[in-house]
Amino acid sequence: MTTEEKKSFENIAELYLYLDSLFDRDNTDDQLFASSYLRGFISISVIEFGDESQALSPALASSIDEKLQAARTELSPQDRQIVQDYWLELREAFV
């Protein structure tokens, strides 16, 4: 993800479009796995904050952080690291 892409996420709908577009690009299986896994947690948190038209915010990022932490045991240590690394990169768009 480039800095330019991060700045283009004006709202959740644009973030979803970006995540969906990853499947049309040349990405690794790990990137596709992490983005899909995170999209689920993003969707769950978005429901609590509004809808897809809402802006990305630190509060929304914190909610996603909490949900990821609560689900840590769902993934193997290796997969958890893949998701965590991708989230740390993606999370920058929320602040």
Where helices occur in the chain by DSSP H, the ranges are 3-7, 12-21, 29-49, 58-70, 77-91
**CA distances to 6, 40, 62, 89, 90 from 2, in Å:** 6, 22, 22, 10, 10
Q: What confidence score (pLDDT) does residue 3 get?
A: 42
Q: What confidence score (pLDDT) does residue 8 get?
A: 58
Q: What confidence score (pLDDT) does residue 51 get?
A: 86
Q: Domain boundaries in the chain?
A: 3-94
Consecutive 10-residue averages of pLDDT for the chain (95 residues) = 57 94 91 96 92 91 96 95 95 89
